[in-house]
Copies of this chain bind each other. A is one copy, B any other.
Amino acid sequence: MLFPSLLLSAAAFAGTAAAQGVSTYVNPAVPTGTPIPANYTGPLRPQVHYSPPTGFMNDPNGMFYLNGVFHLYYQYNPTGLGAGNQHWGHATSKDGYTWGNQPIALFPPEEKQYVFSGSVVVDANNTSGFFPNQTNGVVAVFTLARYNEDGSGGPQTQAIAYSHDEGYTFQYYDRNPVINSTSSQFRDPKVIRYEDHWAMVVAYSQEFVVGIFTSTDLKQWTWASNFTNHGLLGAQYECPNIVKMPVRDRDSGAVVDEKYVITLSAQPGAPLGGSITQYFIGDFNGTHFSTLDAATRLTDFAKDNYAAQFFYGVEGNPISIGWASNWQYAQQVPTGNNEGWRSAMTLPRASYLTKAAPRIGWTMVDEIYDTAPILGESLATKTMGNGSVTVDYADVASNALYIEANVTGIDVAKATAFSTLNLTFTSPASGESLRSGFYFGGDNPFFVDRGQLRGFDNVFFTDKFSVADVYYDSSADKTASWRVQAVIDRSMYEVFLDGGRHAGTVLLYPTQPLTMVNVAARDLPAGARVSVAVWSLKSTWAGQADEQGTVLGNVTTTTSKRHMVYEGGFST
């Protein structure tokens, strides 16, 4: 189990060349100005989730949305299969699913420094002065982490870089850092616009403090307040986010208010082991955040979703993407040795707040983002009471499915401990299975069990996850409804319960591809109706590959890059 900082002494530092036109440190093994070619055909390689071309990825960084394009940066080690040698990788998408690899966006400004996590804002009014002649100037705000000769951590400071081409290439500000520090545990700034100024949340990690700073120009920052010792502390805080979020009426969906949410990642030491992300709902006045209550709420019921970030510049429900892994085993998963890459991102989620039924109360609902661009063929649709649907999807080239089951007309008082809806995926070739399902009686747990898969043995790779998804009468006739949406994508399984009231992200490593799914409703009370739909998903990578299966990414010149976003809609 390697905390990233302990790996750094093993990272290679062979070169001292400078990137084109910018004084940065470029390891000769790291390509500049061109995406890294990649093969996305491995049996564990997700087809509708983003994963890096090669090497190791962790936190999503700098996410913003501008002129119809989602920009996703990420903590990237292009020269190894574990953390270290951190750059900002970059990919772009118009639909949130179909990503085109771009050249690495941020290189270390000098040797023995890494570019750690941070965020991006669009400086439309040129508050920074970097963009006298444009309204689409982009500024990245991030941590520079210095390392000592022996690999131990030096100071972490906050720095900025600016881009005149909408985020494809960046220039370091020549007066960095913008927030100085002597601490080796001060990182991950996330900046938002609040009325007349910029506001930053940044972690004093091992003091369990989120600092809130303000600025008018992104260069001069003033400390405003601290948000301290909230929730599950783990052994350090990381990657705080702050975002304004609509509050919707739970029945009508109408926006009735708006609140702010701070999401806060912590690791190690989460209850499930390793890393976790929690959120706090409250009010923000531009300088201070106050919570509505002292509750701790989690963004995911499994353990493979960390450090999610919200895109800057999205209207309506904020959209986020997380890192779909856990520091306990991120650097050991078999995709590294088998296929030369480690870690994928979660699917995009669109979030809103609601005050659910009395037993649930304030909740951040995470809807799966519009899946229309990736939906392939309908493989099965069935409406039934008790019964089952089995689909052999061995012929689906992506080996990825979207499954939805809507259960209506449930007489809650008559549901028993045996009333279940199960989704089970199997590999007839190996006998392995992935089990999941919901119990309509009792405590209303939804569970996922990856313990029947044999592709990864690790003492931290927990097998079973569950959440209590208490549902309730919501209709005039006193019956209830319940819904699950699930995406299985080779080595990833994501489920959304009741439209996203709970969501779970689960990595899975079968020795053979899972190719059969069974959706079964058993012992539901009379009157319950189950509508099941199974769709193939299109591979977002297959259409980008050449005849050898190589995805080159955006290899055109910088000036035309912003136009080279993939349109989605590739074949399965």
Residue positions of A touching B, CB distance < 8 A: 1-3, 6, 152, 206-208, 228-236, 267-274, 276, 291, 293-298, 301, 327-328, 358-361, 413, 416-417, 435, 437, 439, 441-445, 447, 449, 451, 459-468, 470
Which of B291, B442, B461 interacts with A294 by CB under 8 Å? B291
Known: A1-B445, A3-B443, A6-B441. A272 touches B271 (CB 8 A): yes
14 A-B residue pairings within 8 Å (CB atoms): A1-B417, A1-B445, A2-B443, A3-B443, A229-B294, A268-B445, A269-B443, A271-B276, A271-B298, A273-B465, A296-B296, A447-B460, A462-B464, A462-B465
Chain B contacts of A235 at CB under 8 A? 359-360, 443-444, 468, 470
Chain B contacts of A461 at CB under 8 A? 464
* Nearest neighbor of A417 in chain B, beta-carbon distance: B2
Inter-chain contact B460/A466, CB cutoff 8 Å: yes
Inter-chain contact B359/A206, CB cutoff 8 Å: yes
Which of B293, B297, B327, B435 interacts with A443 by CB under 8 Å? B327
Inter-chain contact B462/A328, CB cutoff 8 Å: no
Chain B contacts of A466 at CB under 8 A? 273-274, 328, 459-460
Inter-chain contact B271/A271, CB cutoff 8 Å: yes
The complex places the Cα of A181 from the Cα of B364 at a distance, in Å, of 32
Closest 7 CB pairs of A and B: A269-B468, A229-B293, A268-B468, A268-B443, A271-B271, A273-B466, A1-B442
Chain B contacts of A294 at CB under 8 A? 228-231, 291, 294
Which of B206, B416, B435, B467 interacts with A358 by CB under 8 Å? B206
Inter-chain contact A460/B442, CB cutoff 8 Å: no
Inter-chain contact B459/A462, CB cutoff 8 Å: no
* Nearest neighbor of A463 in chain B, beta-carbon distance: B463
The complex places the Cα of A194 from the Cα of B232 at a distance, in Å, of 30
Inter-chain contact A464/B468, CB cutoff 8 Å: no
* Nearest neighbor of A298 in chain B, beta-carbon distance: B271
Chain B contacts of A233 at CB under 8 A? 295, 297, 361
Dominant secondary structure at the A interface: loop
The complex places the Cα of A208 from the Cα of B3 at a distance, in Å, of 36
- Known: A2-B441, A230-B293; 15 extra A-B contacts, CB below 8 A, are A1-B443, A6-B416, A233-B297, A268-B468, A269-B470, A271-B271, A271-B276, A272-B272, A273-B447, A273-B464, A273-B465, A294-B294, A328-B443, A445-B460, A459-B466
Least Cβ distance of A321 to chain B in Å?
22
Chain B contacts of A301 at CB under 8 A? 271
Most chain B beta carbons < 10 A, residue from A206, A236, A468:
A468
The complex places the Cα of A359 from the Cα of B237 at a distance, in Å, of 10
Chain B contacts of A271 at CB under 8 A? 270-272, 276, 298, 301
Inter-chain contact A228/B6, CB cutoff 8 Å: no
* Nearest neighbor of A502 in chain B, beta-carbon distance: B269
The complex places the Cα of A461 from the Cα of B206 at a distance, in Å, of 33
* Nearest neighbor of A207 in chain B, beta-carbon distance: B358
The complex places the Cα of A99 from the Cα of B497 at a distance, in Å, of 46
The complex places the Cα of A233 from the Cα of B464 at a distance, in Å, of 21
The complex places the Cα of A435 from the Cα of B461 at a distance, in Å, of 13
Chain B contacts of A462 at CB under 8 A? 462-465
Inter-chain contact B442/A463, CB cutoff 8 Å: no
Which of B3, B152, B359 interacts with A442 by CB under 8 Å? B3
Chain B contacts of A3 at CB under 8 A? 442-443
Chain B contacts of A231 at CB under 8 A? 294-296
Which of B276, B413, B444, B463 interacts with A464 by CB under 8 Å? B463
* Nearest neighbor of A185 in chain B, beta-carbon distance: B359
Known: A417-B6, A443-B1, A445-B1. A467 touches B269 (CB 8 A): yes
Chain B contacts of A359 at CB under 8 A? 206, 235-236
The complex places the Cα of A358 from the Cα of B295 at a distance, in Å, of 24
Inter-chain contact A435/B449, CB cutoff 8 Å: no
Which of B416, B447, B459 interacts with A459 by CB under 8 Å? B447
Chain B contacts of A268 at CB under 8 A? 443-445, 468
Chain B contacts of A441 at CB under 8 A? 1-2, 6
Inter-chain contact B464/A459, CB cutoff 8 Å: yes
* Nearest neighbor of A467 in chain B, beta-carbon distance: B269
The complex places the Cα of A228 from the Cα of B467 at a distance, in Å, of 22
The complex places the Cα of A236 from the Cα of B3 at a distance, in Å, of 35
* Nearest neighbor of A441 in chain B, beta-carbon distance: B6
Chain B contacts of A327 at CB under 8 A? 443
Chain B contacts of A2 at CB under 8 A? 417, 441-443
Chain B contacts of A358 at CB under 8 A? 206-207
Inter-chain contact B6/A442, CB cutoff 8 Å: yes
The complex places the Cα of A229 from the Cα of B296 at a distance, in Å, of 9
Inter-chain contact B464/A361, CB cutoff 8 Å: no
Inter-chain contact B470/A459, CB cutoff 8 Å: no
The complex places the Cα of A98 from the Cα of B113 at a distance, in Å, of 60
* Nearest neighbor of A292 in chain B, beta-carbon distance: B229
Least Cβ distance of A273 to chain B in Å?
4
Chain B contacts of A451 at CB under 8 A? 451, 463
Least Cβ distance of A473 to chain B in Å?
14
Known: A294-B229, A294-B231, A296-B231. A459 touches B468 (CB 8 A): no
Chain B contacts of A270 at CB under 8 A? 271
Most chain B beta carbons < 10 A, residue from A444, A459, A460, A463:
A459
Least Cβ distance of A263 to chain B in Å?
15
